[in-house]
Amino acid sequence: MPSGPATIGEFSVLPVSIPPLPSFLQNATHYLYVRRNAPKIPTANDSRSLFLTNIPVDSTEAHLRALVASLVGAGRFESVTFADERRDALAQSTPDAAQPAQAGRALQAHGAKKRKREDEEAGRAQEGAAARLPSTWTRPLRRSGSTAVVLLADDRSAAQVLKAIAKANRTRRYPAWGGDALPDGRVPPLGSVWLRAHNRLSYPDRDALQASIDAFSALFARREQEAAETAKRMRHEPDADGFVTVTRGGRNAPASRNEAEDARRKMLERQDKKKEELTNFYRFQLRERKKEEQVELLKRFDEDRRKLGAMREKRGKFVPEA
Amino acid sequence: MDAAPAKRRKIGHAQDGAERALESAALTGFSRSRAFVLEAEELLDSVRVDYEAAFAGADGLLHRVKGAIEAIKPHESLPVAEAAAKLEKKHKVKVPFPDPPPPENSHYKVAFAKPAQFNVVGSYVSKTMVKTQKDHSVDMVIVMPEEILQEKDYLDLRYFYKRAYYLAVVASALRKELGKEGQLAYEYLNGNPLCPVLTFQPKALQKAADNAGDKEQSGEKATLDYRIRIIPCAPDAFFPKAKLHLGASLVRKGLNADANAASAPTSFYNSALVAEGSFLPYLRLLRQTEKKCRSFKNACMLGRIWLQQRGFGGDISEGGFGHFEWAVLLALLLQGGDNKGHAALSASLSATQLFKAFIQYLSVTDFSEKPCVFGPGTPELDDHIGSGPIIWDSARQLNIAYKMGPWSAVMLCQHAKWTRKVLANPAADQFHPTFILKAGLPSHNFDLVARLNHDASSAAAADNGAADARGRLWQLSSKVYRVLRRAFFDEETGHRARVIHINTPASSPWPLAERPKQHESAALEIGILFDPVNMARTVDRGPTAGPSAEEQDECEQFRKFWGDKSELRRFERDTIRETLIWSSTTAFEVCEEMMHYILGLHLRIGQVDGDISVYGNELPALLSLSPSDTAVFNVAKKAFSTFERDVRNLDDLPLRVRQLAPICAELRHASVKPPVLGPSKVGPRPMECVISFEASGKWPESLIAIQRTKIAFLLMIGSLLEKSKGGEVKTHVGLEDAKLETENLAFLDVVYESGASFRLRIHSDLEETLLERQVKDKTQEQYLRQQATTSLAAFRRLHTNLPLHNQYISTCATRFAALSPTIRLAKHWFNAHKLSYHFTEEFIELAVLRVFLSPYPWDAPSSANTGFMRTLLFLAHWDWRTEPLIVDTGGDMPAADRIAITTRLDAWRKIDPSMHHTVLFVATAQEPSGVAWTTVGGHAKPSKVVAARMTSLAKSASRVVREQGVELDCRRLFVPSLKDYDVVLHLNSKAMKSALKTYATVDPAEPEAASRPKFKNLDERTGQVPLPLVQHPSEMFLDHLSEAYSGPLVFFRGAADENTIGAIWNPQMQRRAFRINLPTSYKPVAGQKRSRDDEDSDDEEAGLVDVNKEAILAEIARIGADLVERIEVKGA
């Protein structure tokens, strides 16, 4: 097995030996790069979590748990967050994901979010979960070379893991990936079973789907109503600077954005028509038009010339094929 | 007081002529034709030969030749046999007598005397050669002195015997003089076996030509490998032309006193004899015209290129219409030769104008239909049109077209028509198809090419004696042509073929000491261009069998021609007709059957196997395309209309259905395999369609909510359909593998009992508005706007572009019968070369459609074979870096739109010169943005690398087609090369097949065999229909792989059911410095730290890392598990 450096930059290198498979008989070594987690915005758990980069594409929580267990023994591993999951979570938690756009913006402007209470938020999360559509994959694949954050039991375990990595590098005895260390049946298999499972999961039970949609509509309707109420309230309440926010549903505003656009289009049409009537009306317009056309003609001629030059540069355009 | 005159002046100014001309020019948009003029000038510049350099030493050689010939000692007349024997004995030079040679005991006398005149003629003196022509020869005519000829020599080949002897003497003398400096050989002048000539190729050049075969092609070399041809000829007006008219029979001897044969006119012989004495008159004519018309030379050069690209040449085997004929005909037109006496063309025209006018002239004149006469013609000319095309030059009493066959006249006319069409189309690129493209290949031109084996058929041809000097092969071809013409050009029922062309083998030079090589074993090549409407007709209705004498006569003739095949049949309205019934089904097979039958009947060809071999059907056979496929496609379409009716009939839908449109290839006659409707063991693959409802204000104003509402809608449609159709229909709502909540989330699969299945997606007009708003919203973050742009593009493709695309492809498929099979072949080609994964189907369809809609320099292909070959040619020639692919589906795209499209492409290239986002640019009238079919999910599809691979594959395919001609084994075009891939994944077909079946009630994790009970009736799966496939499993697998490894690997795969996947390591992923977000799996490079003290290595402490290829492949093996059977690594 080739030996590389034990550290690279501030990362410890953790080689993982990959057992051969019948379809690919070579022994391979995968390299994980590990360091203490130090995000830009520190959190409470930073000291007991490790930042991993270049994780294998088929990583699951079970895989990493087994890996940590083989390094420092069982019971140290708490959880793992993968990079793509983090992003997902971020996208889901944007508060107004399921809100009418207009209302969401108004609310944000007014700082209505501040007033939310804790328990209310928990209730919403639950509702959101009910409204979420079922996943269609038994197990996701990671992008090659992506990252994860492993949360360990305590600060000491983190230090121990790093030490164990250093030792593994010294002794050249690398932990293995997957294989027997995985708990039976806990990790859904890949391959054809995985694809079949996906096909089945893609057609969820009709009632479950209906329920999820219903939950979502209820949620959405309530939020819409809330938003409408807030908007109504804001119409009457001047803010700190004494301004009244203009919101939808006022006396003069059109009922919907669609109508507004319609009206705008009509106005533009009217303007166009007016313009049309006045073209070629005066003599100077005619003259200018003619001049423009001549200029255009000249321009096109130049363009042809230029194109010809370009063709000439690329040899062979002007030689008949043999 | 001042105002009035000022005004008047302005008015006067406005009506100025020049200005008006400019204005009209602007309106008609003459930009194209101007571009054509410029391009033609450029072409002339680039092919013009620099005579000083190219023919270095030619003049000196000519002088030496002249000197050598002048130094030959004249001798008195000897009997021809004796003289020939003497020459052979003394000099080892054979006299190239024409066939038949003079009899041994003949008393013709031959003599030698100094030539009366030497002259250099041809394009060397007129300086109209081009660099690319096949061979550059300097023609030197030596006029035989009158004293050695006699007037009656025009009879019985006597002149030609004398000429041959004269040539042999010259040859022997020249060999002495120049034999060491080059090679001397005999050759037929223009393939005319009556007129051998002597060629001399200087040695130095010969060597150079051998060494640098292709260097000379690129025009790099200054000196051309020219040769000198020495052509003996008769003095002008020596033979009485009145006796050499077309109807005269001048070869009387040697025909065994057969009285009938003796009276047959020998028009070719006569014309050849006249031509012998016309070298100098024509030289004078051309010189005069050159003087009179400045652009004449350039027009001739353009003509030469045009003819050459279409395979025409002065040689009999090349059609007998070459540069000389072009020049003379053009000169006659400029001279005012038409029977009213004034010139048809003005001498003040420019070269391109002359060229265009001449093309126009050729396109409306078929020399084989009616004699084309310059000067006072004689009425009897019309009688000789049966023996061949006629262009009669009265002043010189010569039929200029004497070397042409009737077929080549038709072909020339057809090519001129096609070229006229492109020249008349202001929107098309006129220059490239006219001059650059090689348009003469049989596999691009003809739908069917047949080879007649000559050996077996020579006996059949010989019954008429060798009356024609062009040899038996020629006689055979003209017979074949007459028979086929009669068979395929039936006026009454419509022409089955547009062109029948016959290609005779060319003659080659032979050494001085040998006899000319007989090409007896060579085969005739017959090319047929179908009329797509009529060729597939299986019932031919002949004349009505009536009581009148006229009718009876007609029937008799019909029966005589068609033999036993003709039978009487009764048709509607009680007409009884002579009828032919053909048993084949496709156009190609009908044609083949007819050819076999009629040639066998009249010429006794084709009785033996291998007499006729037919080419042109291999491609459709390869895919087993059959005419019944159309029916299968129509069944699918019918199933779709049933589905549409069912959906429209649903009463309880909250919104009215506005449109239900198909968007998949199966429903536009364009899928490689025709759709299979019927029960199948595996999960059905539904055909996709989109549904749109009447506009409604009830859609929620949020993208996420719209998507959920759509699901609710789909659930409702599903249950309503199931309710209304009883047990006939099963519906499943499926979830898309969507990354974002704002994308389309679900679809409805409707599976009919009959086997048809459809996938429905809902269109919501508000969605588009919302997305547009997001794209335009400048306050949004950039990545969100990017996302919205991608979603909007996907939305538009799905709901606007695809339905339209389906519509016009279907329309065109009915308009062009060959379109659907050609598209399927092209897709198969992309599949075979594992390119399909990178191309949208729509792109391939549009590329093929372009070949049909803008087929220049041909007409729209009338068979899948030509269609496919021309598609390859197009793909090979398409310079997608600078040219957009514009498919004018309606045929009425304004020029302004085209310019706008080109400008857009230029803009893209300026923004993105390295082509990361936009590579191919394909615009139609409906989709002028140009990227709908070549950008998917914000990425170029295909990428630049793959597009370049497509071009290079198409180029090599076209090259093979060009080199191998019709005999090409078409399977070769579809053989992929796995060698190019770094990694090849072999999938396990069994595992893949198992992935095709999933059931709602069965847990996919349990192995199939274990869970299956012993008895079929106990198995809960029996009778249960498997779930539809969301996507083909191999596609799903590959999608995941290419998403996970978008950086390091590029995957190549053909059709979805193909079991090998190729992959190439991205060369840009190399050793690099370590950072956190690496694009793929990297391994640290061992030992690099030590090399750091090599001075100026970067201050960065971070070590180098390299792509961990083994680990990546091991990962793929893990992902694939049982799906991947073997991973093959190049060099391992």
Bridge-based pairing state of the strands B398-399 and B448-452: unpaired
Average pLDDT over residues B592-606: 86
CA distance A116 to chain B (A): 22
pLDDT class of A96 with cuts at 50, 70, 90: very low
Lowest mean pLDDT among A256-265, A285-294, B801-810, B950-959: A256-265
Selection from B477, B503, B154 nearest residue B320 by Cα? B503
Please answer whether residues B277 and B396 qualify as being in contact, where contact means their C-beta atoms are separated by less than 8 angstroms: no
Q: Angle CA(B201)–CA(B205)–CA(B211) in degrees, nearest 5?
A: 125
Torsion on CA atoms A116, A118, A123, A126, rounded to nearest 10: 110
Burial class (CB in 10 A: 0-12, 13-18, 19+), B152: exposed
Map residue A292 onto helix, strand or coil: helix
Q: Which residue has the higher pLDDT, A83 or A204?
A: A204
> Cβ contacts (< 8 Å) between A221 and chain B: which residues?
none
Q: How many residue pairs from chains A and B have C-beta atoms closer than 8 A?
A: 296
Residue B31's φ and ψ, nearest 5 degrees, are -55, -40
* pLDDT score, position B285: 92
Average pLDDT over residues B366-373: 87
CA distance B96 to chain A (A): 32
* pLDDT score, position B541: 84
Please answer whether residues B660 and B689 qualify as being in contact, where contact means their C-beta atoms are separated by less than 8 angstroms: yes
* pLDDT score, position B359: 94
In DSSP terms, which residues pair with B503 in a beta bridge? B525
A134/B715 touch (CB, cutoff 8 Å), yes or no: no
Long-range contacts of B512-518 (CB under 8 A, 24+ apart): B512/B92, B512/B93, B512/B94, B512/B171, B512/B172, B512/B175, B512/B184, B512/B185, B512/B186, B513/B92, B513/B93, B513/B94, B514/B94, B515/B94, B516/B96, B516/B186, B516/B188, B516/B193, B516/B196
Q: Which residue in chain B has the smallest CA separation from A10?
A: B1102
* pLDDT score, position B809: 95
Lowest mean pLDDT among A226-235, B563-572, B636-645, B968-977: A226-235
B1083/A4 touch (CB, cutoff 8 Å), yes or no: yes
In DSSP terms, which residues pair with B732 in a beta bridge? B749
DSSP state, residue A176: B
Residue B604's φ and ψ, nearest 5 degrees, are 55, 40
A318/B46 touch (CB, cutoff 8 Å), yes or no: yes
Selection from A163, A122, A150 nearest residue A62 by Cα? A150
Whether B50 shows a pLDDT value over 90: the answer reads: no
Average pLDDT over residues B298-313: 93
Where is mean pLDDT largest: A106-110, A214-218, B507-511, B617-621?
A214-218
Q: Angle CA(B351)–CA(B354)–CA(B357) in degrees, nearest 5?
A: 150
* pLDDT score, position B706: 92
In DSSP terms, which residues pair with B954 in a beta bridge? none
How far lies B230's CA from each of B133, B143, B388, B1086, in Å? 20, 11, 29, 76
A202/B734 touch (CB, cutoff 8 Å), yes or no: yes
Query: Cα(B1000)–Cα(B147) distance, rounded to whole angstroms?
Result: 105
Please answer whether residues A77 and A152 qualify as being in contact, where contact means their C-beta atoms are separated by less than 8 angstroms: yes
List CB contacts of B536: < 8 A, sequence separation 6 or more: B585, B586, B587, B590, B627, B817
- Chain B residues 37-96 within an 8 A CB cutoff of chain A: 38-39, 42-43, 45-47
* pLDDT score, position A122: 64
How far lies B677's CA from each of B424, B638, B754, B1028, B1045, in Å? 46, 11, 7, 13, 37
One-letter identity of residue B499: V
Lowest mean pLDDT among A247-256, B128-137, B752-761: A247-256
A318/B47 touch (CB, cutoff 8 Å), yes or no: yes
Please answer whether residues B409 and B385 qualify as being in contact, where contact means their C-beta atoms are separated by less than 8 angstroms: no
A192/B737 touch (CB, cutoff 8 Å), yes or no: no
B1078/A297 touch (CB, cutoff 8 Å), yes or no: no
Question: What's the complex ipTM?
Answer: 0.81
- Can you list the alpha helix ranges (DSSP code H) found in B878-986? 895-911, 944-964
CA distance A274 to chain B (A): 25
CA distance B1040 to chain A (A): 8
* pLDDT score, position B1088: 47
Lowest mean pLDDT among A89-93, A174-178, B384-388: A89-93
pLDDT class of B545 with cuts at 50, 70, 90: confident
> Cβ contacts (< 8 Å) between A312 and chain B: which residues?
42
- Can you list the alpha helix ranges (DSSP code H) found in B489-615? 549-562, 587-603
Tens digit of each residue's pLDDT (9 = 90 or more) over B976-1015: 888 889 999 999 988 888 888 888 777 666 555 445 555 5
Burial class (CB in 10 A: 0-12, 13-18, 19+), B60: exposed
A300/B995 touch (CB, cutoff 8 Å), yes or no: no
pLDDT class of B891 with cuts at 50, 70, 90: confident
Which of A21, A98, A304 faces B34 most closely, judged by CB atoms? A304
Percentage of chain B beyond pLDDT 70 is 88
Percentage of chain B beyond pLDDT 90 is 33
One-letter identity of residue B798: L
Average pLDDT over residues B1092-1102: 43
Q: Which residue has the higher pLDDT, A183 or B602?
A: B602
Whether B946 shows a pLDDT value over 80: the answer reads: yes
Please answer whether residues B898 and B862 qualify as being in contact, where contact means their C-beta atoms are separated by less than 8 angstroms: no
Bridge-based pairing state of the strands B687-693 and B757-763: parallel
pLDDT class of B410 with cuts at 50, 70, 90: very high
DSSP state, residue B667: G
Which of B26, B1084, B1113 faces A24 most closely, judged by CB atoms? B1113
B132/A319 touch (CB, cutoff 8 Å), yes or no: yes
List CB contacts of B892: < 8 A, sequence separation 6 or more: B925
Query: Cα(B503)–Cα(B317) distance, rounded to whole angstroms?
Result: 6
B732/A305 touch (CB, cutoff 8 Å), yes or no: no
* pLDDT score, position B132: 84
How far lies B366's CA from each of B273, B362, B409, B591, B781, in Å? 25, 7, 6, 25, 69
Q: Which residue in chain A has the smallest CA separation from B745?
A: A133
- Can you list the alpha helix ranges (DSSP code H) found in A55-191? 61-72, 83-93, 101-110, 118-131, 155-171
Q: Give the global pTM.
A: 0.89
Question: What are the tokens at B592?
Answer: 């083949």
Q: How many CA atoms lie within 13 A of B301 on its CB side?
A: 27
Please answer whether residues A4 and B1085 qualify as being in contact, where contact means their C-beta atoms are separated by less than 8 angstroms: yes
How far lies B840's CA from each of A153, B491, B726, B845, B1091, in Å? 51, 45, 38, 9, 48
Selection from B1100, B1102, B992, B1087 nearest residue B1037 by Cα? B992
Q: Angle CA(B372)–CA(B375)–CA(B377) in degrees, nearest 5?
A: 65
Q: Which residue has the higher pLDDT, A224 or B1064?
A: B1064
Whether B874 shows a pLDDT value over 90: the answer reads: yes
Lowest mean pLDDT among A126-135, B109-118, B629-638: A126-135
Q: What region does B1073 belong to: left with phi over 0, alpha with psi -120 to 50, or beta?
A: beta
> Cβ contacts (< 8 Å) between B435 and chain A: which residues?
320
Which of B437, B1036, B1076 faces A195 most closely, judged by CB atoms? B1036
Percentage of chain A beyond pLDDT 90 is 11
A145/B1082 touch (CB, cutoff 8 Å), yes or no: yes
> Cβ contacts (< 8 Å) between A131 and chain B: which residues?
708
Query: Cα(A192)–Cα(B1119) distance, rounded to whole angstroms?
Result: 9
Selection from A24, A280, A144 nearest residue B1121 by Cα? A24
CB atoms within 10 A of CB A263: 11
- Chain B residues 769-828 within an 8 A CB cutoff of chain A: 769-770
A192/B995 touch (CB, cutoff 8 Å), yes or no: yes
How far lies B847's CA from each of B618, B871, B874, in Å? 22, 7, 8
Maximum Cα–Cα distance for chain A, whole Å?
Answer: 94
CA distance B813 to chain A (A): 32
Q: Which residue in chain A has the smallest CA separation from B29?
A: A297
| Cα of B446 vs its chain's centroid, Å | 9
Average of per-residue pLDDT values in chain B: 84
B1000/A311 touch (CB, cutoff 8 Å), yes or no: no
Whether A280 shows a pLDDT value over 70: the answer reads: yes
> Cβ contacts (< 8 Å) between A28 and chain B: which residues?
1108, 1110-1111, 1113-1114
Question: What are the tokens at B249?
Answer: 């029979």
Whether A17 shows a pLDDT value over 70: the answer reads: yes
pLDDT class of B322 with cuts at 50, 70, 90: very high
Cis peptide before B942 (omega within 30 of 0): yes
Burial class (CB in 10 A: 0-12, 13-18, 19+), B793: buried
CA distance B1118 to chain A (A): 7
CA distance B622 to chain A (A): 30
CA distance A265 to chain B (A): 14
Question: What are the tokens at B1091?
Answer: 């090399």
B737/A202 touch (CB, cutoff 8 Å), yes or no: yes
B1115/A133 touch (CB, cutoff 8 Å), yes or no: no
Burial class (CB in 10 A: 0-12, 13-18, 19+), A177: buried
DSSP state, residue B731: E
B38/A305 touch (CB, cutoff 8 Å), yes or no: yes
Whether B30 shows a pLDDT value over 80: the answer reads: no
Q: Does B712 touch chain A (CB under 8 A)?
A: yes
A197/B1036 touch (CB, cutoff 8 Å), yes or no: no
Query: Cα(A193)–Cα(B319) distance, rounded to whole angstroms?
Result: 66
Whether B883 shows a pLDDT value over 60: the answer reads: yes
A199/B1029 touch (CB, cutoff 8 Å), yes or no: yes
Q: Does B135 touch chain A (CB under 8 A)?
A: no
Selection from B167, B477, B119 nearest residue B320 by Cα? B477
Query: Cα(B126)–Cα(B487) distance, rounded to whole angstroms?
Result: 45
Tens digit of each residue's pLDDT (9 = 90 or more) over B419-444: 999 998 888 888 889 999 898 888 89
B1084/A5 touch (CB, cutoff 8 Å), yes or no: yes
Tens digit of each residue's pLDDT (9 = 90 or more) over B653-701: 889 999 999 999 999 999 998 888 777 778 888 999 999 999 888 888 8
3-class DSSP string for A207-263? HHHHHHHHHHHHHHHHHHHHHHHHHHHHHHCCCCCCCCCCCCCCCCCCCCHHHHHHH
Q: Which residue in chain A has the smallest CA separation from B1109?
A: A28
A30/B19 touch (CB, cutoff 8 Å), yes or no: no
CA distance B1069 to chain A (A): 13
Which of B22, B697, B718 faces A258 most closely, judged by CB atoms? B697
The per-residue DSSP string of B221-270 comes to -SS---EEEEEEEPPTT-S-GGGGSTT-----TTSTT-HHHHHS--HHHH
